[in-house]
Amino acid sequence: MGALPVLTTTASASAKGTSRTAAPTTAFVDPAARRQTIRGFGGMTHAAWIGDLTAAQRDTAFGTGEGRLGLSVLRLPVPENRADWSRDVATARRAAELGAAVFASPWNPPAHMVETFVHGSRTDARRLRHDMYGAYARHLNDFNGFLRNHGVNLYGISVQNEPDYAHDWTWWTPGELVRFLRENAGSLGTRVIAPESFNYTKTVSDPILDDPAALANVDIIGTHLYGTPVRNFPYPLFKQKGAGKELWMTEVYHPDSTSSADLWPQALDVAEHLHHAMVDAEFQAYVWWYIRRSYGLLREDGHLSKRGACMAHFARFVRPGYVRIEATATPAPNVYVSAYRGSSSVVVVATNKTTSPVSQQFTLKRGTASRVSSWLTDASRNVALQGTDGLSNGSFTAMLPARSVTTFVTA
């Protein structure tokens, strides 16, 4: 029994769990304490670099049934050459049909808009010519229109992928980004995303937040999280000046790109990373790098990886428009809890990174739910349905197996 997330009434489960591990603090969930609105969880497709997803893989990635990832956001590249614009349309169209928001990021402008300059020890670094800002805005607008004509309405478009880590693409200084946003971004026909720093370098995004004219033309402050320590996840300046804007994490793989995505318990790091991204950073979207890869959410054979299973605990159950609500984030050492409210349910995701099972009590304040269902991923199971049980005065207790992630959904 200790290996299963047994759902029981509060009194009996507490008694069963105390012999296995020290009793943790009750995890209180307050549906009335609203935090950020969730836009979704997603991944990147890039047919030119790794090949397109197959029809079956698209359905696995963006479907929400058993064995599916449940992604609700797709990121595309903006190819610099118009002849390449159709490469990712099939996946984008299917993702949109399944309800996903689609956005796009450019790596390079068209070649005739670029000039070389000296950047550190490099004499051939690339940047957008300053007299081409208007033409570049039209290029982005044309790509947006091309997709719209092919059945995909972009949720947003980025100015530049990783402008501060552009050894193999186009550099932008913070000042150049601000100038483009002030003078040209207002003409773009969809939401504007910037600056997509490679590791949440605030000195790249601060100037945007500090410039009212630039900020007025940005809809989403986007960033990547490569190597970013959790202590740098909070963003006080965004809280101060980002009213009406969204905050997205638009690219990451974690913890590395060299290990198999099925390595356990390393894959559990993904669940913890997602927890911190939602709770500490308060991101509204979390987007993985390649959807299908040896280190990705889908294995190369198109089946769910262990990393993908950890993502699915959020993506399948926390849908666009849900709101993160206050919950006891760490009711026990190395136990992480976050909670979300939909129109008729509360979703709680609990990650136990300890080597022992934890008997964890959950209490929903002012809750009216009468039952709760759960899904489990551990060393031998992937998002496996564990059954349904009742709540007692808004509380339930679950055995969280060692090194596991469990999603609970109330009804």
| Catalytic residue IDs | 162, 251
Amino acid type, 365: K
Rg (CA), the chain: 22
Classify 92 as helix, strand or coil. Answer: helix
- Measured CA to CA, the distance from residue 47 to residue 269 in angstroms comes to 28
Contact between 323 and 38 (Cβ < 8 Å):
yes
* Nearest C-alpha neighbor of 154 from the set 107, 193, 110, 196: 193
Strand (E) positions, 328-403?
335-341, 346-352, 358-364, 371-377, 384-390, 395-400
Residue 282 DSSP SS3: coil
Residues 286, 318: contact at Cβ < 8 Å?
no
d(CA 222, CA 284): 10
The Cα 183–Cα 95 span in angstroms is 33
Task: Render the burial of 218-241: b for 16+ CB within 10 Å, e for the rest.
Answer: bbbbbbbbbebeeeebebeebeeb
CB 309 within 8 A of CB 69: no
Contacts of 83 (CB under 8 A, 6+ apart): none
On whether the CB atoms of residues 287 and 249 are closer than 8 A, the answer is: yes
